[in-house]
Structure 1
Amino acid sequence: MSSHSLRQSVPALLVGTFALGLLLIVFSPYGLRETSLFIYFMTITLIATAISGYAVYRHQGMRRYIHLLISAGNLCFIAYLVVHRYYTTVPGDMMMFIQNFFYLIMALIVITQSIEIRTLKLRTFDVFALLSFLLIGALHIFFYSARGEQYVASLNGFEEQMVLVSLYMALGFLYLNRIVTSGQTFRVMLLIGILGFTTASIMNQLNGFAGVGHDLVHLLQVSSIFLISVSFLFDEAAEDVLAHDSVFDYVIYSSVVMLFMLASDRLLGTSVLDSMIANAVLLLLIRQFVVAKQNALISQRLHTVNTDLEVAVTTKAHELEIREQQYRSLFAYHAEPIFLFDLHGEVLSVNEAGSSVLGHDAEMLIGSNILDIIEQKDRAAYATVLHDLTTGRPETLEVDVMTDDGTKRVWQLMNIPMIIDGEVEGIYAIVKDVTQMIAQQEQILYQANHDSLTGLHNRYALQEQIERLIEDGRPFTLMFSDLDGFKEINDQFGHHMGDQLLQHIGKRLRSALLPNEYAGRLGGDEFIVVAEHGDDEILIERLRRLVYRPPYFMAGTLVEIHASIGIVRYPEHGSTLKHLLSNADLAMYKAKEKGRDETVLFAPELREDKEERKLLMEGLDTALEKGEISLYLQPQVDASTKAIIGAEALMRWKRDGKFIPPSEFIPIAEETGHIQDLGRWMIHETFQLMYAFEQGEIDLPKLSVNLSVRQLFDEHLIEYLTTLFDRFPIEPSRLNFELTETVAAHHSERVLNRILELKALGIKLSIDDFGTGYSSLAYLVRYPIDELKIPREFTMQLEENREYQTVTATIVAMARQLGMALVAEGVETEYQETFLRRIGCDSMQGYRYAKPMPLDEFVIFYMKQRQ
């Protein structure tokens, strides 16, 4: 059975024990009653002794000693029962006396020790002593006067003191149970058990019970013994019910008290006066011990408090010293400058970071005023902060300061009031140098509003500025420009060269604009210029002259660039930014359709052109799949003999029964990237046609085809041509690729390498539209060019413009000197033919001889010419 379950069963056990004894007393036969009661009393007492012995085993220190006394008392009662049963020579009263002696010693230990939990006031003790003294004195007088010598003869010298100690113990327990909640059950059970045993013993001694009365006394004694023995189950040891553990002190004290009780009764006699004196001395002895224990306890506590106080003071002083060192370390070695000012800004202290950032010694700074290093524009604001800090609220302010070397810095001063006894006595200023942070913020703001490549306004900044003008209702002109041939420059030289060109254009734009004009880059090669005036013609002329027409010299190469510009005016051409940009885009594309370096002012009819352009862009997606693209050939003839010496392969697009001019769909194809697929288709058709001619014994000396910039710099071009030569084994020298002068004129290793690769395949090369692009002509010597083509623009001007005659004659002479063949395009009149033949150009192409024609018509035309 566990301690908890046994504790719950204690009341039932006690009641059952007493009830069983009563049943044995009342119902046992007279001849067996003595024996059965002896066995019953021995059994209960042995069980109680076993329980108290177990408590001795379970506890330590004072608790073990208390339960050892209980076990000793229990053994005394067992001895008493044996002596009384078998009439040995040992007097039974002696066993009872020893048992009472043990129980009362244990009672004195418990009561005096429990008082230490809450120190018993002497006034309370004196009241207990007085009441006990008067009660015992009255009882003594009553028995002495009532029974006289019979009373004296019945006393054995111990009973009166036993009653006195028992009463004192009862009153002490009542007081303790009122002020101390822990251990109440334990103390009450001890109190009831000891009082019960003591009372039963005294009454038996005084009255000399016999028979059933004597058995009932024994039953009360046994029940009391059992109650005392099981009390340990309710001892709350974890809560320190017994506060002190000096076993020796309590044993000596209790033994002296009990021995004094015996001696006083024997020495002083049993008279009333003697008994009162003995009782008084006993109470004084107990009181003196309590006082001594309290004084010792107070002294010990005082010593402990003094020791703890000394340790606390020492610890506190050490903590204060550590905190002071921490503060000094925080102040002195903080990475940020820290100043201590008075309320007028005079420096009282400064750390090393503060002196070094200003370039002064700390001694020099102390006594100076912080306002002296703050820029004049911020001094008034900071003086206001110093004044406002008297309210005790921290404030932060950014100020410009000047260091000793003349460097301007931006400081963020976190000003913290130094409060002593509720008054602001000074100001701590923690400095954070935010110069770099502000510069970074400005850089971030700049990057957020400017194009990283050109330094011009970006799309978002332009939108904000234009929308601000629209919101204010101020009229302005918006010019949308797109570079002509920029994609070819990227393809030919690489994107790094294109980026350099955009950077140079950005610089020229910034230098060419007036204060009421600003420019920005939308993306790619698209630029916008906004002018808050209506002189757009003057602005366009200025931009052409300063930005777009002058050549750019980059990486050792002269690059000519032009721009197509669309113009819109607010509010005439739109009321919103989206509407204006859309109309400017339409005007710009119309300018591109007109040719290079053109400017177009928006007109409403351009929207119809936009729809047509959109249809063309959508149609190009499926033109090859639907078979709408076809190959046309235009003969090239010898002007003298009219013999066909070659042909140029041309691309034609017939959509919904209507031919779309190349001048309309080729620029769109180049812009959208469809030119790559169309160009490959043209090359494939040319190879297939030449192979068919050779197999059909049609001896066409040369077939020319245009090679776009994208095709020229296609990394798979040579591999593709090699595949076609394997598939269609034609004579390479009969194939002629025409390159635009813009591509050929750029002196780049990339162009030279690709031309050499084409020449290595045996393909001949021509420069198409020679003289229309900007060139130093050095490429004619550097590159292995086979043929120059005089452009149609020159041929058409020969009859009316003598300057064109001179230029054309120069081109022919130069080609002859360099050993190059010549072909004149766009020959339509006899005069043009005669002039060209006279200056040495015999190969011609144009409507005077034949227009571009489908393949079957060309074959018939060629065969007739050969007959």
Structure 2
Amino acid sequence: MSAYSLRQYVPAILIGTFSTGLLFLFLTPHDLRQITLFIYYLVISGAAIGISGVAIFKHRGMRRFIHVLISAGNVCFTLYLLMHYHSTNDNTQSLLFLQNFFYLIMALIVITQSIEFRTLKLRTFDLFALFSFLLIGGLHIWFFSTQDVSLVSQLSGFEEQMLLISLYMMLAFLYLNRVVSAGQQFRILLLIGILGFTIASIANTLFVFSGITHEVIHLLQISSILTISISYWVDDVSEDVLAYDSIVDYVLYSVVVMMFLLASDRLLGTSVMDSMIANAVLLLLIRQFVVSKQNALISHRLHTVNTDLEVAVSTKAHELEIREQQYRSLFAYHSEPIFLFDLHGEVLSVNEAGSSILGLTTETLLGSNILDIIESKDRAPYTIILQELTNGRPRTIDVRVMTDEGETRVWQLVNVPMIIDGEVEGIYAIAKDITQMIEQQEQILYQAKFDSLTGLHNRYALQEQIERLIEEGRTFTLMFSDLDGFKEINDQFGHHMGDQLLQHIGKRLRTALLPNEYAGRLGGDEFIVVAEHGDDEMLTERLRRLVYRPPYYMAGTLVEVHASIGIVRFPEHGKKLKHLLSNADLAMYRAKDKGRDETVMFEPELREDKEERKVLMEGLETALEKGEISLFLQPQVDASTKAIIGAEALMRWQHNGAFIPPSQFIPIAEETGHIQDLGRWMIHETFQLIHVFEQGDIHLPKLSVNLSVRQLFDEHLIDYLKTLFERFPIEPSRLNFELTETVAAHHSDRVLNRILELKALGIKLSIDDFGTGYSSLAYLVRYPIDELKIPREFTMQLEENREYQMVTTTIVAMARQLGMALVAEGVETEYQETFLRKIGCDSMQGYRYAKPMPLDEFVIYYMKHTTP
């Protein structure tokens, strides 16, 4: 048990000790009471000796001396018990007096050291002494005025002086505990213990007690002894409760006080005047010791302060001398030229580097003007700098200077004002020759032909290389590639991860190319490979095998990269650079339209597709404003009962009277960023529709809507959803967001945090097209997913492909084990329905039940299939 925890039990220990003694006193038979209490006293006093003995070995210095005094007092009391039990001579009373003496001297030491260490005002303790002196004098007069001969005969100077010291100690302890925080518990326990023992001892000496009262007095004594010893446990050694001083001083002090007590008891008698004189001398003796210790402490501190001051002054002077030498060394031996001149430019001092680099002597430069060495076209700007330096702020300027040999050098002059007494008296000019650096910068700018991120040729180097091949009339193949899903990687992992991916791709491209091939980065995630041969199939296969197919491991995550590639040949697909790049771009976008991770050779028909694509891109900008975007619903049904269990909200675009397939305009929307506005519109319409359904007679259990990658990582998504919940107070569990498996499968804290935020709103989550991705299934355990959707690609193969049957069965079993709901998409035939229901998937969606339909048709369909 630690000392700190034991402090909490100290009051209980003391109260328990006294209460146990009372129980022995009242419950023990009269003939056994004396021996029982004697044994009890010995046990308690033995414990006190053990505790104070441990404290002697635990502490050092003055603390050990104090606990030696406590142990001596405890030993005296134990001897008193043993001797008093066998005999009742006067020697036993001497042991009690001696014990009181040890305790009181120990208490005075604690007070004296507290005064010494804290340097409290001695006048306060003089008032305590005066008050104690007057009170004891009054008690002395009262004793004699009672004319009780028996009482007066027992009174001696020793008891009276012990009472005086006890009272003085009590007042001092109380004051110390009010002004000094450290060691309060230690002093309080000493106060209680010593006062209790002193009062009990003196009362037992002056008055004759018998029976239970006599035993209670002894119980008070034994409890006080334990209180004094147990103070060891609350002595906070981490604080300076006691000062560390010479123990010899306190031993001599104790001997003097003891001799005075004994002498005054024998010599002065018990008259009022003699007693007052003895008490006054005793208090003066204590005060003199306190004053001497405080004077010694003040003298020591003064000596320490003077010594520290002398050391500080000496150190400061030495530092100033060193700094002066350092300044001289810095100025004289600095490798760069340093000039000191006045506000008019007159040179006052120059170091050796300044004179040697100009080829002039120091004597020649002194007294000349700094403007004389600066070329004429730079003098006017430098003159303005000199004028501005009067405000006390350093300025830097690049100037051209002429050496004595007629060579022009470029100096970077750092001009620092020399301030004396708050006024600018001169200027330090530190010159750095940056001639070579300027030349290198110009060379770097001229040769800057490489992309800083990937190390490949940049756009300008590519253009120069291709233009050179065109001018020379050499045939070549140009391959234009764009990463698939790169925006999603940036949205999901951050742009720093996207930059790392581009760096890795650049490294792989450099290692995958042959000597007659070279690559460059056009910008963003677009790369160009130029090959001076016509084997584009071989080149494509090599790039996909070495660059675009293998996964990339970054920041603890496997990232799969694919690319859409467009290919053109010179000269058949264009005779100018801009035509070649434009046609390669068209071929690349056709590859994306085909499903991505594809390669397309340019054909003239692609130009027509480009115009159509341009029309769609322009149309998307105003589609929402013109009301061309509408909401379609496709029911989700229970295959057994044909009951509608939900619906999926789908987006449809009717442009110029014709419906544009989602597979055609959604990729364009993602590319142009319009998917963000379209997605918010879909979520708003879904909330509004659920709210209308809840207000009417349409009890649709669930309405699903797709959530794109951009929407998922939109930092304002959660706030937007909370706003919609306030506007349309719907049941959150009826709203279901469908996430793509590619997004969910990435084990990033960003994905997990966003999913948890959506779940906190009460929204259900589904994984759309489950099983079509290429990622680990560990996310199913990590994320709180409510539903899996079996993709249409699997459903359409159930009748003809046994492998798809096995995979679908596995998905259903896994979902059931994980407690997830299932919805099969693309159900069109009875065989598909029967097979899915047989393996445990009852929720289905597809043309067998209903196609996606406008809202009014869906309401009619719902009423028809729910009406009894």
Q: Kindly indicate whether residue 432 of structure 2 is the aligned counterpart of residue 432 of structure 1.
A: yes
How far did 1:89 drift?
5.0
Report 1:406-805 matches (<5 A). Answer: 406-444=406-444
SS of aligned partner of 1:404:
coil
| Residue 237 (structure 1) aligns with | 237
Q: Is the partner of 2:79 in helix, strand or coil?
A: helix
Per-residue deviation at 1:88?
6.1
1:350 corresponds in structure 2 to: 350
How far 1:238 moved relative to its partner? 2.4
Distance in 2, Cα, partners of 1:318 & 1:105: 51
Deviation at 1:3, TM superposition (A): 4.1
Would the alpha carbon gap of residues 178 and 367 (structure 1) be closer, same or farther in structure 2, given more than 3 Å must change? farther
Question: In the alignment, what sits opposite 1:170?
Answer: 170
Aligned partner letter, 2:167: L
Write the distance in 1 (CA, Å) between the matches of 2:82 and 2:17.
Answer: 20
For 1:256 and 1:367, how far apart are their aligned partners in 2?
A: 84
Q: Secondary structure at the match of 1:147?
A: coil
**Partner of residue 21, structure 2:** 21
- Unaligned runs of at least 5 residues, structure 1: 450-458, 465-479, 485-523, 525-575, 583-610, 612-867
In the TM superposition, residue 234 of structure 1 has moved relative to its aligned partner by: 0.7
State the one-letter code of the partner of 1:16.
G
**Contact 2:157–2:275 (Cα < 8 Å) also in 1:** no
Quick check: 1:109–1:251 contact (8 Å CA) kept in 2? no
Shift of 1:383: 1.5
**Aligned 8 A contact 1:339 1:428 in 2:** yes
Aligned to 2:251: 251
CA drift of 1:194 comes to 0.5
Matching of residue 332 in structure 1 with residue 339 in structure 2:
no
Q: In structure 2, how many angstroms separate the alpha carbons of the residues matched to 1:215 and 1:254?
A: 32
SS state at 2:9 partner: helix
2:213, 2:273 → 1: CA distance? 33
Say if 2:273 is the partner of 1:269. Answer: no
Q: CA separation in 1, counterparts of 2:68 and 2:189?
A: 17
Deviation at 1:373, TM superposition (A): 1.3
Q: Is 1:301 aligned with 2:301?
A: yes
Give 2:204's aligned residue. 204
Summarize deviations over 1:685-710 as a string: whole Å, max 9, x none: xxxxxxxxxxxxxxxxxxxxxxxxxx
SS state at 1:426 partner: strand
Look up the match of 2:370.
370
Bigger mean CA deviation after superposition, 425-434 or 297-306 = 425-434
AA paired with 2:352? E
> What's 2:400 paired with?
400
Other-structure match for 2:283: 283
* Bigger Cα Rg: 1
Question: Which SS does the other structure have where 1:431 is aligned?
Answer: strand
Work out the CA distance in 2 between the residues paired with 1:89 and 1:201.
Answer: 16
Counterpart-to-counterpart distance in 1, 2:399 and 2:214: 106
Does the Cα contact within 8 Å between 2:347 and 2:365 map onto a contact in 1?
yes
CA contact (8 A) 1:338 1:430 kept: yes
Q: Secondary structure at the match of 2:19?
A: helix
User: If the length of structure 2 is used for normalisation, what is the TM-score?
Assistant: 0.51
Partner of 2:189: 189
Q: 1:103 to 1:442 in 2, by over 3 A?
A: closer
- The 1:368–1:150 alpha-carbon spacing in structure 2 relative to 1, beyond 3 Å, is farther
| Separation of aligned partners in 2, 1:76 and 1:246 | 26
1:130 corresponding residue in structure 2? 130
- Aligned residues of 2:336 and 2:430 also touching (Cα < 8 A): yes
CA distance in 1, matches of 2:323, 2:93: 74
* Offset from partner CA, 1:347-381 (integer Å, 9 cap, x none): 22222211211223334423322112112222222
In the alignment, is the contact (CA less than 8 A) between 2:340 and 2:426 conserved in 1?
Answer: yes
Aligned partner of residue 118 in structure 2, secondary structure:
coil
Structure 2 segments unaligned to the other structure (5+ residues)? 450-458, 465-469, 475-531, 533-575, 583-603, 605-868
**Letter in structure 2 aligned against 1:249:** D
The 1:579/1:7 distance shift into structure 2, 3 A limit, reads: closer
**Cα deviation code 1:301-320 (max 9, x no counterpart):** 11111112222222222333
One-letter code of the match for 1:408? T
- Measured against aligned partners, the alpha-carbon deviations of 1:509-536 in whole angstroms (never above 9, x if no partner) come to xxxxxxxxxxxxxxx9xxxxxxxxxxxx
Q: CA RMSD in A?
A: 3.2
Map Cα deviations across residues 486-510 of structure 1 (whole Å, 9 max, x no partner): xxxxxxxxxxxxxxxxxxxxxxxxx
- The separation in 1 between residues aligned to 2:147 and 2:422, in whole angstroms, is 84
State the distance in 2 between where 1:201 and 1:106 align.
17
Q: 2:68 maps to which residue? A: 68
Is the contact between residue 158 and residue 265 of structure 1 (CA under 8 Å) also seen in structure 2?
Answer: yes
Q: Which residue of 1 aligns with 2:216?
A: 216
Paired residue for 1:96? 96
> How much has 1:580 moved relative to structure 2?
15
TM-score normalised according to structure 1 size:
0.51
**What do the CA deviations read for 1:147-185 (whole angstroms, capped 9, x no partner)?**
364443111321111111111111221222122212111
- Quick one: distance in 2 between partners of 1:50 and 1:483? 108
In 1, Cα distance between equivalents of 2:16 and 2:289: 41
Residue 537 of structure 2 corresponds to none
Structure 2 counterpart SS, 1:45: helix
Cα distance, 1:416 vs structure 2:
1.5
The question of whether the paired residues in 1 share the 8 Å contact of 2:116 and 2:290 is answered with no
Please list, as runs of the form range in 1=range in 2, the aligned pairs for 1:817-856 lying within 5 A after superposition: none
1:132/1:448 Cα in 2 relative to 1: closer, same or farther (>3 Å)? Answer: closer
CA gap of 1:163–1:89, structure 2 versus 1, over 3 A, is: closer
% identical equivalent positions: 70
Aligned partner of 1:313: which letter?
V
Q: For residue 180 of structure 2, what is the amino acid of its counterpart?
A: V
The one-letter code matched in structure 2 to 1:83 is: M
Quick one: distance in 2 between partners of 1:60 and 1:460?
Answer: 82
- Provide Cα deviations, 1:766-796, integer angstroms capped at 9, x if missing partner: xxxxxxxxxxxxxxxxxxxxxxxxxxxxxxx
Query: For the structure 1 residues 84 and 345, does the alpha-carbon distance in structure 2 shift closer, same or farther, using more than 3 Å as the test?
Result: same
Q: 1:278 deviation in Å?
A: 1.7
* 2:339–2:354 contact (8 Å) kept in structure 1: yes
C-alpha change, 1:48 and 1:482, in structure 2 (3 Å) is closer
Deviates more, 1:38-47 or 1:291-300: 38-47
Out of 339-348 and 33-42, give the one that drifted further: 339-348
Letter in 2 for 1:419: I
Structure 2 match to 1:319: 319
- For the 8 Å contact 1:14–1:226, the answer to whether it is kept is yes
- Offset of residue 343 of structure 1: 1.6
Mapped contact 2:4–2:234 kept (Cα < 8 A)? no
Could you tell me how far 1:579 is from its partner in structure 2? 9.1
Q: Distance in 2 between matches of 1:130 and 1:89?
A: 37
Q: What is the alpha-carbon distance in structure 2 between the residues aligned to residue 226 and residue 281 of structure 1? A: 32
Give the aligned residue type for 1:159: E
Structure 2 distance, partners of 1:55, 1:381, is 81
Partner of 2:157: 157
Aligned length: 473
Partner of 1:238, secondary structure, is coil
Q: What SS does the aligned partner of 2:255 have?
A: helix
1:190 offset after TM fit, Å? 0.8
Residue 452 of structure 2 aligns with which residue?
A: none
Q: Distance in 2 between matches of 1:237 and 1:580?
A: 86
Letter in 2 for 1:44: I
| 3-state SS of paired residue (1:117) | helix
SS in 1 for 2:324: helix
Contact 1:332 1:352 in 2 (8 A): yes
CA deviations 1:280-327 (Å, max 9, x no partner) are: 221111111111110000000111111122222222223333333333
Aligned partner of 1:38 in structure 2 is: 38
The answer as to whether partners of 1:70 and 1:103 remain within 8 angstroms in 2 is yes
Contact 2:3 2:234 in 1 (8 A): no
C-alpha distance in structure 1 between counterparts of 2:436 and 2:72, whole Å: 91
Amino acid aligned to 1:318: H
Q: 1:280 to 1:363 in 2, by over 3 A?
A: farther
C-alpha change, 1:366 and 1:260, in structure 2 (3 Å) is farther
Question: Aligned equivalents of 2:411 and 2:64: distance in 1?
Answer: 76
